[in-house]
Homo-oligomer: A and B are copies of this chain.
Amino acid sequence: MDKDCTVYRTADFIGRRWTLLILLELCKGKPSRRYSELKKSLPGITPKILSTRLKELEKEGLVKKRVDTRTFPVRCDYSLTKSGGDFIGIIKNIKKWALRWKFTNKTCSRLDCKECMVG
Contact = CB atoms under 8 A, between A and B. Distances in A.
Interface stretch (A6-14, A26-34, A50-58, A63-71): A6-14
Interface residues of A, number: 40
Chain A, interface SS category: helix
A13 B94 CA distance: 12
Contacts of A19: 11
Contacts of A61: 101-102
A93 interface: yes
Contacts of A14: 11, 14-15
A94 to B, nearest CB: 5
Interface of A: 1-2, 4-8, 10-21, 44, 61, 83, 86-87, 89-91, 93-95, 97-98, 100-102, 105, 109-112
